Amino acid sequence: MLPPPPADLGPSFFWDGRATSLEQQVLMPIADPTEMGLGHGEMVARLSAVSGYRQYFSEVYGSEAITMDHVAAAIADYVRTRKSGNAPFDRWSYARDSGAVSEQAKLGFDVFSFKGRCGMCHVGFNFSDGRFHNLGVGWDSHSQTFLDQGRAAVSHEPHDVGAFKTPGLREVSKRAPYMHDGSLATLREVVEFYNRGGIQNPRRSPRLAPLGLTTKEIDAVVAFLQTLNGEGYLDSPPRYYPR
């Protein structure tokens, strides 16, 4: 028997959930030395030096002053407009268009929901429970440790070692490689990984177990996942930037 689900964790971002709002999330890659490597103070100074931004900040925030909080709020609100929908799956599942997806994809959704047990964690419109699970990814059997502590680095709870957030599956076929460390190159490899029951370790999620999927069923699940590519999030880049 599976343990009861934990209490609602609220929103979280990044694989380990270290950010609890989009405003926090959008600032972190800017300062991260492995990403943009730009200190927040330097970011504000650079933007403040561009006179063309002052009008926009004045219109939105009532002041020409550019602050870290205002930059975070602006970027976060833009990110909130990046939504994917009206995918072939949506037209089949919600609009009842029987021809929107292939028969193989329909079988794949059935396997995903039942025999594959994927819907235990990949739930809702975005196909994510927003929680953290230990799949064994990154486990070193020789040292008996994880290369990345996962959620435990944030929660400092032993049971969170090696646990990472369930990713949403919208646009998933465009997001290779997969898993938090990019260790799986294709969607088929991901389905095969789950079919094996993940990687055994002392804290592996009790939700994982070998699934016994056939080659046909694995192919079908991959076909279903490819129907989650939608629309509504694409836009054209600006023709010019403030100077």
CA distance 94 to 107: 17
Q: What is the mean pLDDT of residues 205-227?
A: 97
CA distance 173 to 79: 20
| DSSP conformational letter for 118 | G
State whether residue 115 is helix, strand or coil: coil
State the residue for tokens 């975070």: 72
For the segment 205-210, the average pLDDT, to the nearest whole number, is 96
Question: What does the pLDDT average to over 21-47?
Answer: 96
Question: For residues 93 and 185, what is the distance between their CA atoms, to the nearest angstrom?
Answer: 28
Residue range 50-64: average pLDDT?
Answer: 95
Give the start-to-end residue ranges of the domains of the chain: 22-79, 88-228
Give whole-number Cα distances, 240 to 22, 60, 226, in Å: 26, 20, 35
Q: Is pLDDT at 6 greater than 60 in this prediction? A: no
Give, to the nearest 10 degrees, the angle between helix 52-61 and helix 68-79: 80
pLDDT computed for residue 237 by the predictor:
85
Q: What integer best gives the mean pLDDT of the chain?
A: 94
If pLDDT is split at 50, 70 and 90, which confidence band does 235 have? Answer: confident
pLDDT in tens, 109-159: 999 999 999 999 999 999 999 999 999 999 999 999 999 999 999 999 999
Fold (topology level) of 88-228: Cytochrome Bc1 Complex; Chain D, domain 2 (1.10.760)
